[in-house]
Structure 1
Amino acid sequence: MTTDSPVISCRNAWKLFGPNPRQYLKSMPAGHGYEDIRADGYIAGVKDVSVEVAKGEMLVIMGLSGSGKSTLVRCFSRLHDITGGTIEVEGQDIMALPEKELIELRRSKMGMVFQSFGLLPHRTVLENVAFPLEMRGQDRHARRERALEVIKLVGLEGREEYFPRELSGGQQQRVGIARSLAIEPDIWFLDEPFSALDPLIRREMQDEFLRLQAMLGKTIVFITHDFDEALRLADRIAIMKDGAIEQCDTPDQIVMDPQTEYVRKFTEDVDKAHVVHASVLAKPVNGHAVEGDPIAGDRTIHQIARQLVSDPREHLPVAGKDGKIMGIMARQEALEVLLGDSANG
């Protein structure tokens, strides 16, 4: 994740479904809740959402069915027109773009992958991957070269002439990912891309996805209803309910400090030691003695469990990626994350 100016900036966005949504939003009483809006004959698909996505960040949007996560992402690409608020992509107000410019923005900047693979059954892997380039009017040689490049990138080299029916579910999903990568998008939208896969294949696809992101550094908005998947993939997680974002934070902060009861229910069965990193527990040195080898801040509490149990130091130095001491971690606090309530027993 980087700290550049946001690629996507969403401010007080609303998407209401109903007979006259814009007029209704203008006259809607302040503080009107989701059920109040519903009683008035409208559905708040997106309810006063403000969120930003930084360059190179992977924002995972999650929630139960009907929470508004897919609707919000469709607003980001203006597949839905918002009812109120603003959404900017790379500084452009997408609601103000003429249709021709909007189509060009989608074609040149955005890649999309959905749960249903949407492959063309009578076209080979190579032809499926090259299809968006064909639609763009690229010549046969250039699109073949680019298609072969991304097919290799997703690990399907040697299967270029296979048809979708000859591939496993995981391989078909790789074709869908390759097809969206073929246009070299800066922004990548993925709507529950792995949810139809078996658990083992799903895990493999997550590994592959993390590998691709490490190589390509795309700006990604990823939708899932699986909290474990969100924790594994996200730089930040936005948890939605009734069209609104309940909390948007890093995985560490979501599990350490859930802001609402709804978010807490998502986190209550999570093994925090597998999620929380040493850097999150690090506090300023403030005169404490810093002795011995430091712990890498990007290690989870689970990964340093043996050291926590055996190391007698009350405070452990924590180092950043540059190797410099960034703070100290109280051993007792880390043990409480590792062992839960039993740490105080």
Structure 2
Amino acid sequence: MQNPKVSVRNLYKIFGRNISEAEKLLAEGLSKDEVFARTGHVVGVNNVSFDVAPGEIYVLMGLSGSGKSTLIRLINRLVEPSSGTINIDGENIAALPQSELVKWRRRRVAMVFQSFALMPHRNVLDNAAFGLEMAGAPRKAREARAMEVLNQVGLETYAAKFPAQLSGGMQQRVGLARALAVDPDILLMDEAFSALDPLKRVEMQGLMLDLQSKQQRTVLFVSHDLEEALRIGTRIAIMEGGNLVQEGTPHEIITRPANDYVRRFFKGVDTSRYLTAADLLDPGLNGHAYNGGPRLAAHTTLPDAMKIVLSIDQPVGVFDATDRLLGSISARSLLVKMAQEARHV
């Protein structure tokens, strides 16, 4: 990746006193459970490397204890790394002295928490303006900016209300407004919507995507919900036992899962809507089955492919970006593939 916004290399977080001993055992291939049994040290993040592009929503997924929340907190050093580098716009944040780190946080990064973390004695406007207040912004300027972001999240008429007077979804909107008010380059979101009911959760996902389409911030988003990750993620990184076990686009994760751990996330999720024409080829038809009729680009989405394939009684050719015939889709192959993805057999 050229010019990543965030570039993490060989990042470790080990909780304990003899970090070098634990790192040595990890390098020998021991698991976090084996390291704990031998040393009593807890492995939070194990030799993780990844890049995040400017304007990308990079989703960190994993089960409880996988290291995803620890990893996102290492990015802004709410948790101190044991070793490794965290380069943001070429600057190694892991090496910043505390005084410079505080200044950097105020200028460049904001975080949205699962628990909302609002101050109950402050009204919505003051909560939204809190980060600017900590940065020393004058009252008039910070309140004007807070009202601007409250308008963006649909809460301008609630500025004088207090958190206890708001629903959970509204409280999380205030938390998002507070983060946006400081105009951060990077937005860190740790299970930000998981405390909401399903309808509010989808609503907040939609709001975030709408804001992202206009503002193009770099977002690192922690989730344990595959549906959420697939909906909002530009790319998804899946964590297990402190390790990053797979990284890719939603389509890559769905169509080429790295192992059974990744596949288990798909249980109960209909992933057929992420299929493309290249995934729907009929193995029983060779290239000669295409006789010059309708054709589809390999990246054509399933809904668009269905409109063509199910409307005619002949195979449809699928071509890559170089106009090379990849194969053909029949009505049968399309329906079989959809059924397989829906049931995950």
TM-score, normalised relative to structure 1: 0.87
Summarize the alignment of residues 250-289 of structure 1 with structure 2, pairs less than 5 Å apart: 250-278=249-277
Query: Gapped runs of 5+ residues in structure 2?
Result: 282-286
Q: Return the alpha-carbon distance in structure 1 between the equivalents of residues 12 and 206 of structure 2.
A: 35
Give the structure 2 partner of residue 331 of structure 1.
Answer: 329
Distance change >3 Å, CA 161–CA 334, structure 1 → 2: same
Q: Return the alpha-carbon distance in structure 2 between the equivalents of residues 166 and 319 of structure 1.
A: 55
Query: Gapped runs of 5+ residues in structure 1?
Result: none
Structure 1 residue 277, shift from structure 2 partner: 3.7
Q: Return the alpha-carbon distance in structure 2 between the equivalents of residues 187 and 219 of structure 1.
A: 5
Structure 1 residue 315, shift from structure 2 partner: 3.3
Which residue identity does 2:6 align to in structure 1?
I
**What are the Cα deviations for residues 262-297 of structure 1, in whole angstroms up to 9, with x where unaligned?**
111112443231222447779xxx997775575694
Structure 1 residue 307, shift from structure 2 partner: 3.1
SS of equivalent to 1:245: strand
Give the structure 2 partner of residue 74 of structure 1.
Answer: 73
Distance change >3 Å, CA 305–CA 141, structure 1 → 2: same
**What are the Cα deviations for residues 140-174 of structure 1, in whole angstroms up to 9, with x where unaligned?**
12111111110111111211111111111101100
Q: 1:278–1:318: 8 Å Cα contact kept in structure 2?
A: no
Which residue identity does 1:301 align to in structure 2?
L
Q: 2:25–2:35: 8 Å Cα contact kept in structure 1?
A: no
Q: Return the alpha-carbon distance in structure 1 between the equivalents of residues 211 and 42 of structure 2.
A: 37
Structure 1 residue 128, shift from structure 2 partner: 0.8
Give the structure 2 partner of residue 7 of structure 1.
Answer: 5
Q: Return the alpha-carbon distance in structure 2 between the equivalents of residues 341 and 117 of structure 1.
A: 36
Give the structure 2 partner of residue 32 of structure 1.
Answer: 30
Please provide the CA RMSD for this pair.
2.8
Q: Return the alpha-carbon distance in structure 1 between the equivalents of residues 155 and 86 of structure 2.
A: 36
SS of equivalent to 2:302: coil
Structure 1 residue 33, shift from structure 2 partner: 2.1
Q: Return the alpha-carbon distance in structure 2 between the equivalents of residues 191 and 341 of structure 1.
A: 29
Distance change >3 Å, CA 57–CA 280, structure 1 → 2: farther
Summarize the alignment of residues 42-191 of structure 1 with structure 2, pairs less than 5 Å apart: 42-191=41-190
Give the structure 2 partner of residue 311 of structure 1.
Answer: 312
**What are the Cα deviations for residues 214-272 of structure 1, in whole angstroms up to 9, with x where unaligned?**
11111110001111111111111111110001111111111111111111111244323
Which residue identity does 1:36 align to in structure 2?
E
Which residue identity does 1:330 align to in structure 2?
S
Q: Return the alpha-carbon distance in structure 2 between the equivalents of residues 341 and 172 of structure 1.
A: 37
**What are the Cα deviations for residues 30-83 of structure 1, in whole angstroms up to 9, with x where unaligned?**
222222211121111001111111111111101111110000111111112211
Q: 1:290–1:317: 8 Å Cα contact kept in structure 2?
A: no
Q: 2:278–2:318: 8 Å Cα contact kept in structure 1?
A: no
SS of equivalent to 1:25: helix
Distance change >3 Å, CA 139–CA 275, structure 1 → 2: same
Of residues 25-34 and 107-116 in structure 1, the stretch that sits farther from structure 2 once superposed is 25-34
Which residue identity does 1:108 align to in structure 2?
R
Distance change >3 Å, CA 104–CA 228, structure 1 → 2: same
Give the structure 1 partner of residue 284 of structure 2.
Answer: none
- Report the identity percentage: 43
Q: Return the alpha-carbon distance in structure 2 between the equivalents of residues 215 and 94 of structure 1.
A: 27
SS of equivalent to 1:158: helix
Give the structure 2 partner of residue 340 of structure 1.
Answer: 340
Structure 1 residue 127, shift from structure 2 partner: 1.0
Q: Return the alpha-carbon distance in structure 2 between the equivalents of residues 239 and 27 of structure 1.
A: 23
Q: Return the alpha-carbon distance in structure 1 between the equivalents of residues 185 and 258 of structure 2.
A: 32
SS of equivalent to 1:339: helix
Q: Return the alpha-carbon distance in structure 2 between the equivalents of residues 62 and 244 of structure 1.
A: 11
Q: 2:61–2:223: 8 Å Cα contact kept in structure 1?
A: yes
